[in-house]
Structure 1
Amino acid sequence: MPKTHHVIVGGSIAGVSAAVAMRQNGFSGTITVIDAEPLLPYERPPLSKMADAQQALRPIFPQEHYAEHGIDLLLSTRVRRLDDDRRRVELEGGDSLPADRVLLATGVSCRRLGVPGEELAGVHTLRTAEDARRISAALARGGPLVVIGGGFIGLEAAAVARTAGVDVTVVEAGELPLLGPLGTPVARLMTRLHEEHGVHVITGQTVRCFTGGTAVEEVVLTSGRRLPAATVIVGVGVTADDRLAREVGATCLNGVVTDQHGRTDHPWLWAAGDVAAHIHPAVGSRGRIEHWDVAMRHGAAVGASMADRPTVNSAVPYFWSDHYGTSLQMFGRAQPQVRVVLRDGATPERFAAFWLRGNRLVAVAGLDEPKTVRAAKAVLDAGVPVSAESLADPSTDLRALSRGPARQTLSSSG
């Protein structure tokens, strides 16, 4: 009898983690990972830091790791379609693979603005190693750089460029950069951090068009203002790369809809990582979570489930973002109708922030505050009631707080 074959589309951290987890959970069939890029699957978080120069691209695993786990890699290979009836994965060029189960770990694609001049040389998105290489080469020739969109990737690239002495302007359509993921108090601190390092921040504006000969020379804003630009990075969000799922009729709602184990409403089709719209236990509502750590853990859980060891990723979502030699770390997700509490003494260079729903901590973030963030995560994990006043007070022992009132009393009484 032929071996059972699991095909993973996408050499992302979710896809690679799923492949390894299949082996670790006893799957003995064939595993094939298909990826369109020619490189070994690599870590994506460093890409927005590569604009400063020569940071080496880091493979997720070395080549021999895949051989040791019996994982076949098909690189520089694109999937044309999934044949739902014959259970085959059809590749561009005409070849196809049999697949007892398919995992989509295709991630996301960068949104485009859809404005005139967007195809000019010098207008970039940042998603792949090749994108990062082009931007790095462009910034080495000098600025000015205009970043469209005040999200994490754009601001990280802005920080790297400013550190290298490049003139940088960030154009954000909303009231503040990072307002959606962080809320007003924290977004205001992060904006001030960038402004103090010389980044020009323009809010409430977007792009009317890009102008230039063969390469971009100016960014024209909706107000009519013109910004000189030698390089532009467009970072206005992403869309789920769910084409293959949609074409076979799987349900997609801002991503591929899956159950808690990663299975879609097509029994042979699964999804993990950024492309998957699932209900995370720590969030409670369906959606995609575009964080490296979450994708890694979700991929591993789905891989175990595909090996018939049903597993749910219940770890609290975590991400980090680097700016000017400091790291913003966050556990949990900022959600609507929650209160944001800043710890007393917060500055743009160092702060801790807490998100409260009623008297329950749902998220914590800190810039250059790793110990505080880790201690607050213990409070979050414990689910104990807390007050805004105690969180705001730097003298509060968060680890003692996480043990609850009874254990705090016992501890204090000796």
Structure 2
Amino acid sequence: MNTQSMRVVIVGASLAGLNTARALRDEGHTGPITLVGEEPYSPYDRPPLSKEFLTSDAGHDSLALADTGALGLTELYGRRAVHLGPRERTVRLEDGQVLPYDGLVIATGAGARSWPAPLPAAGVHTIRTLADATALRRDLGTARRRILIVGGGFIGSEAAATARELGHDVVLAYPGPAPLHRAIAEDAASFVAELHRTAGVSIVPFATLTALHGQQRVTSATLNATHQVSADTVLLALGATPHTGWLTHSGLRLDRGLVTDAHARAMRTDGRPHPRIVAAGDVTRFPHPHATGLLNLGHWSNAVEQARTAARTLLSPHAPTAYRPVASFWSTLYGVRFRAVGLPREADSAETREHDMERRRLDVAYYRDGRLVGALTANRAARITQYREQLAEDLATVARV
């Protein structure tokens, strides 16, 4: 089959989905491409949803990633995929439409982890979609609020900083000793905690949400079964769950996401990669030389770079491209610009090279078995380039072995 003219279906109108379509065209693919998205919008940028979007009156147009017209796509938005038939090479949508394909890209991303108990009718939010962020922004813009944010990851920390800058009373509760402790280790996490304290955020470590109270609107929450927190707005930033429900009977390997090989090919349950199905973005878990197990990267850069690999692998199945990224992400809290490369979470030790709260500077290198696997800086962006080069050199060495 001529792969340059094959029918491609991309399920997921996400950053990864859009960039796979763009990469396919860049690689010379001339055949039909159908882009399917569950939300009623063309692909948009998600990182601003927990930051500047909450302080603006912007809508979808300001977040739109690109004019898709130049790519010549068939665009199906507000349409949810419910079943994949790899043997028949079809995707079935919720409305009954069946899409045949020669090549399939799975880029369905992830959704906000839900709270497993009934919720009050109003005032409880997550942030994962444009609709989520719009609802939270509406709450934040009506009056001064008492806000409880549950979860100490980047989304929780970013939302806490944004809400505090808007003048709200903010409590940030998280299960570890400091925000982001699991992701960036003790010294860097304590740096983040101090930023929150200095800004007036009340932080509650070692906290687990056990109850939400209120009928029409949330009025309070219980932490650790005994600690009551008054709140009229609650943000649940409990992590993400990959959108793989529609793949349950597909014969593809699902393990806290869709498992792919090192070339972005979806893995079957029999341990073999599927030659016609690739995947990219938050939905995937894949091997990496610097990871001890399968890796999930919910980063903007991963969605872009893995999409390119997926496109090349789909078009060149007999010479697939290996995906060995130097992961990168960034965040801004209270005007402090954080930059990270590599996989700090995979480290067994960390070396703090600079920790200056007065000048709000931080530089931490992360190691596993004495080998650099990641780095994080705050207001030290120039140093991150050196770390990136070192990590890239190490990955190149791995590729040559």
TM-score (structure 1 length as normaliser): 0.87
Supply the AA of the counterpart residue of 2:66.
P
Confirm or deny that 1:330 pairs with 2:332: no
Confirm or deny that 1:319 pairs with 2:323: no
Deviation at 1:314, TM superposition (A): 2.5
Supply the AA of the counterpart residue of 2:214.
G
- Quote the residue 1:26 is aligned against: 28
- Quote the residue 1:310 is aligned against: 320
Question: For residues 337 and 352 of structure 1, do their structure 2 counterparts lie closer, same or farther at Cα, with a shift above 3 Å needed?
Answer: closer
Name the CA distance, whole Å, in 2 between partners of 1:282 and 1:298.
16
Deviations 1:240-298 (A, max 9, x none): 11122222121111111111122122443322111111113443632211111111100
Name the CA distance, whole Å, in 2 between partners of 1:174 and 1:284.
22
Confirm or deny that 1:340 pairs with 2:350: yes
Match of 1:111 among 113, 131, 134: 113
Name the CA distance, whole Å, in 2 between partners of 1:144 and 1:94.
45
Deviation at 1:46, TM superposition (A): 0.6
Match of 1:54 among 29, 32, 57: 57
Name the CA distance, whole Å, in 2 between partners of 1:171 and 1:231.
14
Match of 1:39 among 34, 38, 41: 41
Q: Given that residues 331 and 365 in structure 1 are in contact (C-alpha distance below 8 angstroms), is that contact kept between their aligned partners in structure 2?
A: yes
- Quote the residue 1:200 is aligned against: 202
Deviation at 1:337, TM superposition (A): 5.2
- What aligned pairs does 1:56-95 form with structure 2 within 5 A after superposition? 57=60, 58-63=62-67, 66-95=68-97
Match of 1:287 among 283, 295, 300: 295
Supply the AA of the counterpart residue of 2:122.
A
Name the CA distance, whole Å, in 1 between partners of 2:229 and 2:378.
31
- Structure 1 residues 248-257 or 148-157, which shifts more? 248-257
List gaps (5 residues or longer) in structure 1. 385-414
- Quote the residue 1:379 is aligned against: 390
Question: For residues 204 and 282 of structure 1, do their structure 2 counterparts lie closer, same or farther at Cα, with a shift above 3 Å needed?
Answer: closer
Deviation at 1:222, TM superposition (A): 2.2
Question: For residues 99 and 167 of structure 1, do their structure 2 counterparts lie closer, same or farther at Cα, with a shift above 3 Å needed?
Answer: same
Deviation at 1:119, TM superposition (A): 4.6
Instruction: Classify the secondary structure of the residue corresponding to 1:342.
Output: strand
Match of 1:355 among 366, 370, 395: 366
Percent same amino acid at aligned positions?
A: 31
Question: For residues 299 and 282 of structure 1, do their structure 2 counterparts lie closer, same or farther at Cα, with a shift above 3 Å needed?
Answer: farther
Confirm or deny that 1:7 pairs with 2:9: yes
Deviations 1:336-360 (A, max 9, x none): 5532111245327221111133543
- Quote the residue 2:122 is aligned against: 121
Name the CA distance, whole Å, in 1 between partners of 2:10 and 2:120.
32
Higher Cα Rg, which structure = 1
Deviation at 1:84, TM superposition (A): 2.8
- What aligned pairs does 1:139-150 form with structure 2 within 5 A after superposition? 139-141=140-142, 142-150=144-152
Count how many residue pairs are aligned between Structure 1 and Structure 2.
Answer: 381
Deviation at 1:381, TM superposition (A): 3.2
Deviation at 1:127, TM superposition (A): 0.2
Deviations 1:195-237 (A, max 9, x none): 1101111011212211112111111222422211121110111
Instruction: Classify the secondary structure of the residue corresponding to 1:250.
Output: coil
Confirm or deny that 1:130 pairs with 2:134: no
Name the CA distance, whole Å, in 1 between partners of 2:66 and 2:387.
35
- Structure 1 residues 375-384 or 302-311, which shifts more? 375-384
Name the CA distance, whole Å, in 1 between partners of 2:22 and 2:48.
22
Deviation at 1:332, TM superposition (A): 0.5
Question: For residues 367 and 258 of structure 1, do their structure 2 counterparts lie closer, same or farther at Cα, with a shift above 3 Å needed?
Answer: same
Q: Given that residues 26 and 307 in structure 1 are in contact (C-alpha distance below 8 angstroms), is that contact kept between their aligned partners in structure 2?
A: no
Q: Given that residues 282 and 316 in structure 1 are in contact (C-alpha distance below 8 angstroms), is that contact kept between their aligned partners in structure 2?
A: no
Instruction: Classify the secondary structure of the residue corresponding to 2:190.
Output: helix
Deviation at 1:81, TM superposition (A): 1.1
Instruction: Classify the secondary structure of the residue corresponding to 1:343.
Output: strand
Name the CA distance, whole Å, in 2 between partners of 1:272 and 1:119.
35
- Structure 1 residues 362-371 or 237-246, which shifts more? 237-246
Name the CA distance, whole Å, in 1 between partners of 2:174 and 2:355.
28
Deviations 1:36-91 (A, max 9, x none): 1111200111110122233554445433xx22222221111111212233221111
Q: Given that residues 264 and 323 in structure 2 are in contact (C-alpha distance below 8 angstroms), is that contact kept between their aligned partners in structure 1?
A: no
- Structure 1 residues 355-364 or 242-251, which shifts more? 355-364
Deviations 1:108-165 (A, max 9, x none): 11112313x4253111110001111111110112211100111100110110010111
Deviations 1:176-200 (A, max 9, x none): 2101110111111111111110111
Name the CA distance, whole Å, in 2 between partners of 1:331 and 1:225.
37
